[in-house]
Chain A
Amino acid sequence: MKYQDEYRDPKLAGSIVEAIRKKSDTPVRFMEVCGTHTVAIFRSGLKELLPKTITLISGPGCPVCVTATQDIDRAIMLCQERDVIVATFGDLMRVPGSESSLQQEKARGADVRMVYASFDALELARQHRDRRVVMLGIGFETTVPTIAAAVYQAHQESLDNFMVLSAHKLLPPALETLLSADEVNIDGFLCPGHVTTIIGTEPYQDVVDRHGKSCAVSGFEPVDILQSIYMLVCQIEEGRCEVEIQYSRAVDAKGNPRARQLMEEVFEPADTLWRGLGHISQSGLKLRKKYMAHAAESHFALTVPSARELPGCRCGEVLRGVCTPLECGLFRKNCTPINPYGPCMVSSEGTCAAYYKYHQD
């Protein structure tokens, strides 16, 4: 398949690994921010090809994993309403809330539908005018424009039974929080390619200028990731610190202004709670006044008791890169993909799930 096979080419991968080995001298720690990167790194067995000088740490970029328990509880509360269809991306189904999960509620009779796109949820709303369809708005800047487009369209069609529970997250404030906390030693970031197609590289300039961390915007195939690691190694060995784009076949430094315009038309920044990172100011999104009719909170009282952190669960630390899943006492014992205790085990892009599925002890 084009744009895939050439980025999995064993020879090319081998030569980049060789170049990294030659160049790398200083021990460094790079964080891959995005869950898709984490999975690609594990699936390709890439870690074992790298020299010992390079440590890869997984970051907070799995949207399901950073969704707060309270937001899951809100979704569960909504699906218990008789006239509600909850539409969600698949991974969210099994994330445990305080008492239950969407999947368990579905087994008890709730109408929870898995959709692949926000417009599928819109279609559900058109087909079921007598019911209220709530799309769970989860994800970073990559998915936000599609949700925004669905809200915009619903507004145009006066489809007043379509609404969104917005638990969206913005990436730059999370990076800032991570760096300000200073609890993890990071020398550089593998920046998320798909988020960057939307936001462009400007938000990373702060990471470079104020925090002195190297950045490489990376694609998702093994060769992409290896090349990005090589870029970061070169920056550090040559004493440079800048934002470089490896994923140039998809990313423009300016991002996608049209998508951002749509986002800004429909949403405005709001404070939000992250699992693992806590409250971060202006790091989430809520619907603007004009579109409030499509906000779940306009139709339902969404107050839920503040959720207790799961005792013993180290997902928060895993999300901040403070520890690896192997250091968590629950991993593989009380926490497995079948009976996940914490969110990082649930999502297919979660760090714990990736360790469970692919890591050889």
Chain B
Amino acid sequence: MTPRIQMDHGAGGRASQELVARTFMPALENPILSELNDSALLELQGLSLAMSTDSYVVDPIFFPGGDIGSLAVHGTVNDLAMRGAQPLFLSVGFILEEGLELADLERLVDSMASAAREAGVQVVAADTKVVERGKADRIFINTAGVGAIPPGVKVAGQNGRAGDIVLMNGPMGDHGVAVLSKREGLSFQTEIRSDSASLNGLVNEMLEASQEIHVLRDPTRGGVATALNEVAQQSGVGIQLDEVRLPIRPGVSAACELLGLDPLYVANEGKLLALVAPEEAELVLDAMRQHPLGRESCIIGEVVSEHPGRVILKTEIGGSRIVDMLSGEQLPRIC
């Protein structure tokens, strides 16, 4: 049978990784792209720049705690911030479906504008395309961003070391559950709101507190489990998580239980994972807790030299198990 693209390929897990490795990399490979970080590092005439791009296809386009407009700003700003960069400029591409209500578009653009203002970025280039009804789902947005990396900042997925402490800035899974709760055919009552937010302000505070932040990663599609597996592979280290320390809201936990989802794989849009040298971990944690987006920050695990490339979870009852990457599609079109 002719191989075709399936929903798994867009889920951010192993199938996405395979698509990148087999289809995109052989054709497009270069030393910058090969690093496979959230954003590319560009060294130009003594300047360090970060560049990133992301497309947004979330369904529904308005969800509790956000919408596709603000998400398109937050997501790309965060990809830049995960490199320690100060996000500066964004480009925006709109793909609009014939029949989209203009009022909805205006609402989304206003939402983008205020998200950009809050994050301190300017939208400096834009494009619009319209396709026939049925050829897209209301609106898809692509954004690309450029940011400047301050001298001395060296944050990258490859930099994790044994002994590092793994920090997270709050509970996992809010975004995925909030979006799901409004999905047609699946609606359920919950108070959970998406955590969608720009994290560059929080990252600034963290970088000011310590130069020993080795890795930053935003656990979006594929969730915390997939993000940490990628880091473990990139850095060639093992990561050990402690189940009792994993921050999960009761509402998210209940929704996941009901739908058969594992919160470790549910998407976040305002969360980051930080691998920090052990002696500075408390310092960074304090700085995070001072910031509005870091009040619920906590330690969730540590980096070890054993089982390189793998994430192991110490379970609540004292056993242990592997935490693998997302293998199939857990939920489509979550961001």
Q: Are B315 and A1 in contact (CB under 8 A)?
A: no
Q: Are B4 and A43 in contact (CB under 8 A)?
A: no
Q: Are B317 and A45 in contact (CB under 8 A)?
A: yes
Question: Is A103 close to B, CB under 8 A?
Answer: yes
Report the nearest B residue to A100, measured CB to CB.
Answer: B1
Question: Count of A-B contacts with CB under 8 A?
Answer: 96
Interface segment among B114-122, B251-259, B269-277: the answer is B251-259
Which one, B8, B244, B322, contacts A338 given CB within 8 A? Answer: B8
Interface segment among A187-195, A280-288, A306-314, A351-359: the answer is A351-359
Q: Which residues of A contact B5 (CB under 8 A)?
A: 107
List A1-25 residues whose CB lies under 8 Å from chain B.
1, 4, 8-10, 13-14
Q: Are A8 and B254 in contact (CB under 8 A)?
A: no
List A331-354 residues whose CB lies under 8 Å from chain B.
336-338, 348
Question: Is B185 close to A, CB under 8 A?
Answer: yes
List B286-335 residues whose CB lies under 8 Å from chain A.
307, 312-322, 324, 327-328
Question: Is B21 close to A, CB under 8 A?
Answer: no
Q: Are A360 and B317 in contact (CB under 8 A)?
A: no
List B1-55 residues whose CB lies under 8 Å from chain A.
1, 4-8, 14-15, 18
Q: How many residues of B contact A (CB 8 A)?
A: 33
Which among B4, B253, B307, B321 has the greatest number of chain A C-beta atoms within 10 A?
B321
Q: Are B6 and A103 in contact (CB under 8 A)?
A: yes
Report the nearest B residue to A36, measured CB to CB.
Answer: B260
Per the bound structure, the CA–CA distance linking A184 and B18 in Å amounts to 39
Q: Are A14 and B318 in contact (CB under 8 A)?
A: yes
Q: Are B320 and A48 in contact (CB under 8 A)?
A: yes
The majority secondary structure among interface residues of chain A is helix
Question: Is A80 close to B, CB under 8 A?
Answer: no
Per the bound structure, the CA–CA distance linking A42 and B315 in Å amounts to 10
Q: Which residues of B contact A123 (CB under 8 A)?
A: 185
Report the nearest B residue to A41, measured CB to CB.
Answer: B319
Q: How many residues of A contact B (CB 8 A)?
A: 39
Q: Are B1 and A104 in contact (CB under 8 A)?
A: yes
Q: Are B318 and A49 in contact (CB under 8 A)?
A: yes
Q: Which residues of A contact B315 (CB under 8 A)?
A: 43-45, 222
Report the nearest B residue to A223, measured CB to CB.
Answer: B317
Question: Is A327 close to B, CB under 8 A?
Answer: no
Q: Are B257 and A4 in contact (CB under 8 A)?
A: yes
Which one, A1, A46, A103, A120, contacts B7 given CB within 8 A? Answer: A103
Q: In angstroms, how far is the closest chain A Cβ from the Cβ of B224? A: 15
Q: Are A357 and B244 in contact (CB under 8 A)?
A: no
Per the bound structure, the CA–CA distance linking A45 and B312 in Å amounts to 11
Q: Which residues of B contact A130 (CB under 8 A)?
A: none
Question: With A1-B254, A115-B185, A360-B312 known to touch, is A337 a contact of B319 (CB < 8 Å)?
Answer: no
Q: Are A359 and B319 in contact (CB under 8 A)?
A: no
27 contacts across the A-B interface (CB closer than 8 A): A1-B250, A1-B257, A4-B257, A8-B316, A10-B318, A13-B317, A13-B318, A44-B317, A45-B313, A45-B314, A45-B318, A46-B317, A48-B320, A100-B1, A103-B7, A106-B6, A107-B7, A116-B186, A120-B185, A123-B185, A222-B315, A226-B317, A336-B327, A338-B8, A338-B15, A357-B322, A360-B322
Other than A45-B318, A336-B327, A348-B260, give 20 A-B pairs with Cβ distance below 8 A: A1-B250, A8-B316, A9-B316, A10-B317, A13-B316, A13-B318, A44-B315, A44-B317, A44-B319, A45-B315, A94-B328, A99-B1, A103-B7, A103-B8, A115-B185, A116-B259, A120-B185, A338-B14, A360-B312, A360-B320
